[in-house]
Amino acid sequence: MRHPKVLTRTLTAALGLGLAVSLGAAAPAGAAPDTAADRGAQAYAGYAGSAEEAKANQAFFDAVMTSVAKKRAANPSAAAAVTVVYSAANAPSFRTQIARSTQIWNSSVVNVRLVEGSNPDFRYYEGNDSRGSYASTDGHGGGYIFLDYRQNQQYNSTRVTAHETGHVLGLPDHYSGPCSELMSGGGPGTSCQNATPNSQERARVDQLWRYGLASAFKG
Ligand SMILES: [Zn+2]
* Residue pLDDT, tens place only, 148-203: 999 999 999 999 999 999 998 989 999 999 999 999 999 999 999 999 999 999 99
Residue 168: predicted pLDDT:
87
Strands (E), 50-208: 82-90, 112-116, 122-127, 134-137, 143-148
Q: What share of the chain is helix, strand, coil (3-state, %, to 5)?
A: 45, 15, 40
* pLDDT of 130 strictly over 60: yes
Looking at the chain, the whole-number percentage of residues with pLDDT higher than 70 is 68
- Distance from the CA of 192 to the center of ligand 1, in angstroms? 15
Q: What is the pTM of this model?
A: 0.74
* pLDDT of 25 strictly over 50: no
Say how far apart CA 55 and CA 71 lie, in whole Å: 26
- Distance from the CA of 162 to the center of ligand 1, in angstroms? 10
Reply yes or no on whether 53 is catalytic. Answer: no
Residue 201: predicted pLDDT:
98
Higher local confidence (pLDDT), 126 or 17: 126
Count CB-CB contacts under 10 A for residue 91. Answer: 21
- Distance from the CA of 165 to the center of ligand 1, in angstroms? 9
Asked if 81 contacts 113 with a C-beta cutoff of 8 angstroms, the reply is: yes
Mean pLDDT value across the chain: 78
